[in-house]
Every structure is written in C-alpha cells, then in structure tokens.
C-alpha cells in the first residue's frame, strides 16, 4: 500500500515509517510513504503557502494553489487515489473506517496547518474528510500518522503471527485481555493460575472471558453494538460472579 502525504513538515511524517512494526513493513515493501511539500510548489520568491484570511480575524490560511499543485503532482505520480483531509470536522475514524481504508491501494493524505486550508481547495480536491477524535491538534500530521499506523497494521504480512493474534479481541469488537510476563511474582502479586497451567484451551477460554468482562466493565457501549453469543453470555456471567459484580 502506498501513502502520499501532502505536508509542510515531511520530516515529521517520515518518522512514522522509521521504527518498529511500520519500519519493518516499509523495509519489506508492504507499505510505502511519499511526502509532498506544498512549499516546493509555491511560485513566488518567498515560497508563500499561507496568507491572511478574507474577512479578517487571527492567524493565516493555507493558499489553494501551492497545495493543489502538490496534490496534482502526487496524483500524477501513481495509481488513482482518494484524497483524505484530516480535520476535526471529518467523519470519526473507527475500526470499520480503518478497515475500509486498508482496502484502498493508495491514499493521498492532506495535512492542514495554520487555521486550516482555503475552502475552495477542499471543494476542488478532497474526496473524504476524516477525524481521529473530537479534539484539535496543531496540524494534520499527527492524525495522518495515527491513521497510517492503524491502516498499515491491517495489511497482510505487516503484523507477524504473534501480533495478529493480539488483534483478535479488538477485531472482534472487544477490549483486550490482561497480559502477564516474568517474574511470576512481583511486588507480592502472582499470575492467574490458568496461565501457568499449560492448558491452551482453558487459557483461550479465560482470555475470551476476560476480554468480555473488561469490555462490559469499561466500554458497555461496545457490547451493546456487538451483541453476545449464548456462550459469551455464559462467560460474562462467570466473570461477573468471579469478580463479585
Ligand atoms: N481530530 C482530528 O482528526 C484533527 C485533525 C486535524 C487537526 N488540526 C489541523 C487542522 C485541519 C483542518 C482544519 C483545521 C486544523 N487545525 C489547524 C491548527 O489549528 C487548529 C485547527 N486537529 C485535529
């Protein structure tokens, strides 16, 4: 999958592909990142990409032409792609949205700075607006990096077997189960016996029960949406009994 990011801070965005899971995925050619800086497409001597807002008011607005030229250069450099604008006004990104994006062969991500981008650019070039949550950050780069990380993790081969197993609970619309590692006792606290039992079926059952119980406790709204199988109802009742709920 290829990500093209339109940004005034390419070095910032490059960092997401330099480490860990995504770093390896980029090395393996599973994910590719190309950045395009509107400042390289500004035609005036000062390479201006922003200007004062019509109607007055504080701050600056990103100009249409340099951004549009960068987008068009990106479009011309590969397969047809959807242009996604990261903005607080966008459609809220969730697991389903990430999965849909993972099916695109290529995405062009547009990162706003200053007070935002001239509305005419959005009308001319943007296919979909996406938000990573109901809060404002100083530019679209961090939301773009969050989205690229979430999407890349769903691509075949990016997560080894171990990690993809970790995806199970979340992919099933549940929170994760608790995790433990050595030493067996730390600060006087031990590890649930089932995890030391070597009984893989019992471990899987316990983990599923814990994922259900924690989802019920921390995010009951997710359970509402998801519904429970009969077996899961039983597991959740076990959990509540065991936790004295
Ligand atoms: N929730 C999100 O996905 C999200 C995305 C971007 C973003 N900021 C970039 C931005 C993009 C569009 C419009 C305004 C702005 N901002 C520019 C800086 O000033 C504040 C407004 N913030 C949060």
Do 106 and 29 have their domain in common? yes
Do 46 and 116 have their domain in common? yes
Within-domain flag for 107: yes
Q: Could you tell me if the CB of 58 is within 6 A of ligand 1?
A: no
Span between the terminal Cα atoms of the chain, in Å: 46
183 Cα–ligand 1 center, Å: 44
Least confident of 39-43, 94-98, 159-163, 172-176: 159-163
DSSP 3-state of 224: helix
pLDDT over 70 at 147, yes or no: yes
Q: Could you tell me if the CB of 169 is within 6 A of ligand 1?
A: no
According to the model, what pLDDT value does residue 165 have?
58
Do 191 and 150 have their domain in common? no
Query: CB–CB of 191/223 below 8 Å?
Result: no
Catalytic residue annotation: 88, 115, 153, 168
CA distance 112 to 69: 15
pLDDT over 90 at 170, yes or no: no
pTM across the whole model: 0.93
Q: What is the mean pLDDT of residues 4-18?
A: 96
Which atom belonging to ligand 1 lies closest to the Cα atom of 133? 1
Do 146 and 223 have their domain in common? no
Do 98 and 195 have their domain in common? no
Within-domain flag for 177: no
pLDDT over 80 at 202, yes or no: yes
Do 145 and 208 have their domain in common? no
According to the model, what pLDDT value does residue 171 have?
79
Within-domain flag for 197: yes
* pLDDT-based confidence at residue 199 (cuts at 50, 70, 90): very high
Query: CB–CB of 11/37 below 8 Å?
Result: no
Question: What total of structural domains would you count in the chain?
Answer: 2
Domain CATH for 214: 1.10.1270.20
Q: Could you tell me if the CB of 147 is within 6 A of ligand 1?
A: no
Task: Quote the domain boundaries for residue 101.
Answer: 2-154
Within-domain flag for 168: no
ipTM more than 0.90?
Answer: yes
CA distance 142 to 59: 20
Q: What percent of the chain has pLDDT over 90?
A: 92
Which atom belonging to ligand 1 lies closest to the Cα atom of 138? 18
Do 108 and 14 have their domain in common? yes
According to the model, what pLDDT value does residue 117 have?
98
According to the model, what pLDDT value does residue 161 have?
74
According to the model, what pLDDT value does residue 166 have?
59
Q: Is 116 annotated as a binding residue?
A: no
Do 55 and 128 have their domain in common? yes
CA distance 18 to 24: 8
Residue that is last in its domain, among 108, 133, 154 = 154
Could you tell me the two tokens for 96?
Answer: 């389903």
Q: Is 190 annotated as a binding residue?
A: no
Q: Is 137 annotated as a binding residue?
A: yes
* Closest to 205 measured CA to CA, from 192, 218, 191, 217: 192
Q: Could you tell me if the CB of 59 is within 6 A of ligand 1?
A: no
């Amino acid at each position: 999958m290829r990500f093209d990011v339109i940004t005034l801070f390419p070095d910032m965005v490059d960092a997401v592909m330099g480490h860990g899971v995504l770093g390896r995925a980029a090395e393996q050619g599973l994910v590719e990142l190309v950045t395009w800086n509107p400042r390289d497409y500004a035609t005036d001597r000062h390479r201006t990409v922003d200007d004062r807002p019509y109607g007055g008011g504080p701050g600056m607005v990103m100009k249409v032409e340099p951004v549009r030229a960068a987008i068009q250069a990106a479009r011309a450099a590969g397969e047809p792609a959807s242009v996604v604008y990261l903005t607080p006004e966008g459609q809220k990104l969730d697991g389903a949205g990430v999965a849909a994006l993972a099916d695109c062969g290529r995405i062009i991500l547009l990162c706003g700075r200053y007070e935002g981008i001239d509305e005419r650019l959005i009308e001319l070039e943007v296919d979909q607006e996406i938000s990573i949550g109901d809060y404002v950050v100083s530019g679209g780069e961090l939301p773009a990096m969050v989205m690229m990380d979430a999407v890349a993790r769903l691509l075949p081969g990016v997560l080894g077997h171990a990690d993809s197993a970790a995806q199970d609970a979340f992919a099933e619309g549940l929170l994760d189960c608790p995790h433990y590692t050595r030493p067996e006792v730390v600060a006087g606290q031990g590890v649930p016996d089932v995890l030391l039992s070597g009984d893989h079926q019992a471990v899987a059952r316990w983990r599923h029960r814990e994922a259900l119980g924690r989802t019920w406790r921390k995010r009951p709204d997710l359970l509402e949406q998801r519904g429970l199988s009969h077996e899961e109802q039983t597991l959740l009742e076990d959990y509540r009994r065991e936790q004295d709920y």
